[in-house]
Amino acid sequence: MPSNDSVFAESMAASQVVTGFPIEAKGGATLPSPKGRFISFGGDASHYLHPYTGG
């Protein structure tokens, strides 16, 4: 019988998957290093985003 991790990995490999992690407004926790890129089109959207210092 395959392990749960193997089944999960195979499911992710066969699909288009986006993973993430929760963020919170309080600091203290370190954020993981980025492993992807963000691409935006149009004007600057940063004024719509709230600053988060914790992860």
- List the domain boundaries for the chain: 22-55
Q: What are phi and psi of 7, to 5 degrees?
A: -65, -45
Flag whether pLDDT at 55 surpasses 70. no
Tokens of 30: 């370190």
Q: pTM for the whole thing?
A: 0.41
pLDDT (tens digit, 9 = 90+) per residue, 10-39? 999 999 988 877 777 776 667 677 777 777
pLDDT at residue 13, as a whole number: 94
3-state secondary structure of 3: coil
Q: Identify whether the C-beta of residue 25 lies closer than 8 Å to the C-beta of residue 50.
A: yes
One-letter amino acid of 48? Y
